[in-house]
Amino acid sequence: MGNIWKEEWGELAMEKPELKKAMTTLELLSQDKEARLLYESRQKALLDERSRLHSAKMEGKMEGFYSVAKKCWPKAWTLQPSWK
């Protein structure tokens, strides 16, 4: 980034902490290839973990639904659900 851009962005960053964090990250990643690779790897790991947690939560909800439905309508739920 040029000095003019840094000054203008710096003024904006003073008002918005999210922008300051993004600028700091951008500067770091643009300087060092290894740091960028580590950052991308960490971001991927975080997204993967979020996806695993979401899947587990959805599976738990389906099991809970199946359990309640089975108690309410025992004759209608003689077969195993297709999602298991």
Given this model, what pLDDT does residue 67 score? 83
Domain ranges of the chain: 3-57
**Per residue in 25-80, pLDDT tens?**
877 777 878 888 888 899 999 999 999 999 999 998 888 888 887 788 776 656 66
pLDDT for residue 84 is more than 60: no
> Residue by residue, what is the 3-state secondary structure of 14-78?
HHCHHHHHHHHHHHHHHHCHHHHHHHHHHHHHHHHHHHHHHHHHHHHHHHHHHHHHHHHCCCCCC
Taking each helix axis as running N to C, give the angle between helix 33-72 and helix 17-31, from 0 to 180 degrees, rounded to the nearest 10.
130
- Is this model's pTM higher than 0.85 or not? no
